[in-house]
Amino acid sequence: MRETLADWRPAIDEAIADLVPREIDADYLESFFGSPTYEYDPHGIQRALATPLWDLLDRGGKRWRAILFLVFVEGFGEDPAEYLPYACIPEILHNGTIIVDDVEDGATIRRGEQALHRLYGRDIALNAGNAMYFLPLKVITRNPADLPADRRLAAYEMLMYELNRTHLGQGMDICWHNERDVRINTAQYLEMCACKTGCLGRIVARLAAIITDQPDAVEEAIAEYAELTAVAFQIGDDILDVEHSLGRAGEFGKEFGNDIREGKKTLMVIHAIEASEPERARRLQAILEADDNTDEEILEALEILEAAGSIEYARERALELAADARAAIDGLNFDAETTRKLEEFTEFVIERNE
């Protein structure tokens, strides 16, 4: 799967540059957004949109959502190169959510450098992040694959449905890490993941099915695969945050003890609160509640998670979700190479080390 990611990433970035060039000029603005009522300011739009967007993209990121979309398209017997502009939709959406998420969380580091709102200001970061929810819709408007009207409408309706649910997930996550108590259960945590992260995965799968005109049953099956894989990815991301802080993972690109500092109620935290001795559970909760933590307190919280077996518990749940994802597409008639890639991907999202 890593080879597939490496092979396709340059083409994805080139397609994104067709949507949002690195250098903004008046001709691009008029062709993409229509004639100005008075006069555009390309320099201002460059500083407020293109520069922060490409700053974030150039820092890295796997582009796995865009590439998974292309794997599906190829699996359906189509030439993925013809659908590259559509692959940009989930990728730009994802990066928009990152920018807004970092503002909401007060994050300091993203992909190894300062979060965009720290560099450019909250106002520019929020405007750029919000713009990235809408820019991808222009792909469907421009219709590069010459889709019939019913498929374009289906794509619009799907995007509106799934994007609304992402905000339910983000809302739950924000609420929980602003609260003092750990009051949620495992099912609620998984629902948050299914909305916040899973819906972007579902967009990847459903968009591929819609634009290639697959039957409803196929769309539902690959959407389930993508949602389950995305939830496993989110749990894997939480595990990686802990293991990075414990010195067991590669370069993660986030602040030391990021999730503990933010008071996030991860699957590991929920498990540790339930599995630990009352005194240790109260201590973990106290660290999560604090407005500021020392590095020593972060390590203490991480050690409580480890002692409770919460890291391994979360890993096992992620592996179960990955197995369920593979089962969801078991009855589909993908060729052997596509099946291999999809199965490997469910392993990659958990076993990655950065």
User: Which DSSP symbol is given to 38?
Assistant: S
Class of domain 1-146: mainly alpha
pLDDT score for 9: 86
- pLDDT means per 10 residues in the chain (354 residues)? 77 92 96 95 96 94 90 96 95 95 90 94 96 93 94 97 95 87 91 95 98 97 97 92 70 67 90 95 91 88 94 95 96 94 90 66
Helix (H) or strand (E) holding 2: helix 2-19
State the angle between helix axes of 149-178 and 84-105 in degrees (0 to 180), rounded to the nearest 10.
Answer: 20
Residue with token string 């409580």: 304
What is the Cα 343 distance to its own chain's centre?
19
Class of domain 148-354: mainly alpha
Domain ranges of the chain: 1-146, 148-354
pLDDT score for 249: 41
pLDDT score for 254: 57
- Answer yes or no: same fold for 1-146 and 148-354: yes
* Tokens, residue 160: 């509106």
pLDDT score for 1: 63
pTM for this model (two decimals):
0.91
pLDDT score for 201: 96
